[in-house]
Every structure is written in C-alpha cells, then in structure tokens.
Amino acid sequence: MDILKRELAPIPVEAWAEIDEQATRSLKAMLSGRKVLDVSGPMGTDFPGVPEGRLNYPKKQPKGGLKYGIRKVHHIVEVRVPFELDIHEMDNVVRGAKDVDLEGLETAARETALFEEQVIYHGLPEANISGLKICVGDECLSIGSKPEELLEGIADGVTAFTGRSIDGPYSFIVGPKLWSRMSAHVQGYPIKMQAETVLGGPVLLSPYLSGAYENEAYMISQRGGDLELILGQDLAIGYESHSSTKVKLFFTESFTFRVLEPAAVLNFTARK
C-alpha cells in the first residue's frame, strides 16, 4: 500500500476515473508555472530535498585548526488539501450519471494549484525558496496597460534580455486583468498574436495573478537551465477516511523551486 491508500476508499473504479479526469482539467486551467519552467521528476515520495552544492559555515567554530560546514539544501515542501465527496454520488457514476457533483474536488484543486503558483511567483521563505518576483517597487519594469503600451513593453523586455545575452524563446505571463487587455486588436490583429510573434513563445494566463497581484507580469526565457521546478510526489489524490455517506480525500504533492539564473526573469508592474 502506498501513501495515497486509494484502494481503501469506498469508490468504484469508474468514479475514480471521473475524479482523476476532473482533477486534471481543474489543475491544468490553474497552473501556469509548469508550462514555462524546467520540470524535473517526480522523484518519489521519499525524496527529501535538493543539494545546493555549497556549505554554510557557522560563526562559532571549534578552537584550533578544525572547521566544519553544513551543506545547504533546498527542502521539499509537502502539500495536503482535504476535501469531501458524497459516496452515493460516486455510485451514480457507475449508473451512468454525467452531472456528478464534484464541487469539493474543484475547490481543493484550485487551492492546491494556487499554492504552487504562489511559491513559484512569490517564493516561500520558510523553505528557502525565492520566487520569480525578484524586484521590489521601482526596481520592477513599468509597462502600460493599454494594448499599444503592452506591445511596446514586451518589445522592451526582449531588448533587455538581448542586452543580458539571454536567448529566447520568451514567454509572457499575466493575470486575468491584463489577459483581457491582450484580447484587444491593434491595426486589425490581436495583441496576443502580435506579442507571441515578438516573444517567439506563448502569452499565458495565471489566475493566481489577481487581486493584490493583478498588475504584475512576468517575462521568462525558455532557453532552459535557468528555472527549475523539482517534484517529489507529483499532484495526486489520496484517501483519508469515510463515513456511511461521505468520503474524505485529499490532494497532495511535494516539490521545490529554484531560480538558478535571475537574469532569465523580468518583472513588470502595469501602470494603472
């Protein structure tokens, strides 16, 4: 038996297939980082972390010639998000129901995906993870939010990467607010299409970049070797417990994220 314990759940095989299919659809719509990063793994549930190849030397050292250092490690973050489904509703899948209530799953999938996106974009200091948001305040590049200004800012970003000797193709990631602006037309052509011609790569939507982060945008080089998402346990659904009417499941994953070359990322703040 593995850590997911799925065989203990009172869920028919057909219902598990429906659960997994809906989970895949929900997660795919929310996860943008995996589409542009180097993804390694999954390495397995027992994967503990990623060595940095460096030592941290404590200030207090023994007297004499002996010195010691502690190897730096990127620890793996393990996530678990519980949710409940109705057992009788799962049985209805076997009966041929096509409108099964999986609202609990969809809510948990969103929460799980948004956490992964949060770590990728804004980091997790407790786990020694720095995110893609490298700049602060005026250090971020400014980009207009009008269609023509978005194109101009993207062209400026490509120029900046060229000045850093960072090759493409490049991707441009925005939240829902700026995404809607990308659907506009300039000189008869969609902004998104024109932008992707300049970038050589995709313009992507991240639902995470909403609310307080709605004016953030990221341009990333996809040449490879600069940004790494390392998976221990990939996204999966496991079994926790059940009653006579409800089954309690959970989303889980374990991962870490590394920015190996900060020059391969440009942070933009859209002017209001």
Residue 4: CA count within 13 A, CB half-sphere: 14
Average pLDDT of the chain to the nearest whole number: 94
Mean pLDDT of 112-136: 93
Mean pLDDT of 100-116: 97
- Architecture of the CATH domain 6-49+75-130+227-252: 2-Layer Sandwich (3.30)
Q: Please give the biggest Cα pair distance in the chain.
A: 77
Is residue 102's pLDDT more than 80? Answer: yes
pLDDT in tens, 58-91: 999 998 889 999 998 888 999 999 999 999 999 9
pLDDT-derived band at 47 (thresholds 50, 70, 90) equals very high
Helices (H), the chain: 13-30, 87-94, 103-122, 147-163, 176-182, 191-199
Helix pair angle (13-30, 87-94), 10° resolution: 110
pLDDT computed for residue 186 by the predictor: 83
Q: From 3.60.20.10, 3.30.930.10, 3.40.50.970, 3.30.2320.10, which CATH number describes the 138-223+263-270 domain? A: 3.30.2320.10
pLDDT computed for residue 224 by the predictor: 95
> Is 270 in contact with 217 (CB distance < 8 Å)?
yes
Whole-prediction pTM: 0.92
- Residue intervals in the chain for CATH 3.30.2320.10: 138-223+263-270
Mean pLDDT of 88-105: 94
pLDDT computed for residue 137 by the predictor: 64
Backbone torsions φ then ψ of 172, nearest 5 degrees: -130, 120
Mean pLDDT of 162-181: 95
Phi-psi region of 108 (alpha: psi -120 to 50; beta: other; left: phi over 0): alpha
Secondary structure string (H, E, C) spanning 7-22 = HHCCCCHHHHHHHHHH
Q: How far apart, in whole angstroms, are the C-alpha atoms of residue 174 and residue 191?
A: 13
- Residue intervals in the chain for CATH 3.30.2400.30: 6-49+75-130+227-252
Q: Tell me the residue type at 258.
A: R
